Structure 1
Amino acid sequence: MENENKFGFVNFAETWNGRLAMLGFIIGIATEYITGQGILSQIGLM
């Protein structure tokens, strides 16, 4: 089990990719709520 490939389209990598995407989404929503600005406004594009 420990010699299993952890890169590419394998379950391990896809699971962590999904978890980190959900975390990033929640952080983005919280940042918008706290600052009152969208992501584009925060980085100066709008």
Structure 2
Amino acid sequence: METRSSTDLPTIATEYNGRDRNAFLFGFNPQAELWNGRLAMIGFLAYLLWDLAGYSVLRDVLHLIGY
């Protein structure tokens, strides 16, 4: 197995399509997909915490329709 020194390792990808991967850009681009995923994870976690606190939107809706 060949070992390489740390100076020979490839650099970490910091760019997509010539832009910083964390740039907040509008439109269909890789940065928008990263931000969409991050915000979706925050929203999902917020809903789980809200549900654990006893305020369940889904449970209330199911109760209203008779389930």
Residue of structure 2 equivalent to 1:24: 43
Tell me by how many angstroms 1:20 deviates: 0.3
Which structure: greater helix fraction? 1
RMSD across aligned positions (CA): 2.2
Q: Does 1:38 align with 2:56?
A: yes
Tell me by how many angstroms 1:8 deviates: 2.0
- Structure showing greater Rg: 2
Any unmatched runs of 5+ in structure 2? 1-18
Which structure: greater strand fraction? 2
**Superposed CA offset, 1:11-37 (max 9, x none):** 1111000000000000000000011x4
Residue of structure 2 equivalent to 1:14: 33
1:12 alignment partner AA = Q
Tell me by how many angstroms 1:7 deviates: 1.8
- Say which SS state the counterpart of residue 8 (structure 1) adopts: coil
Task: Give the ranges of 4+ consecutive aligned residues of structure 1 lying more than 2 Å apart after TM superposition.
Answer: none
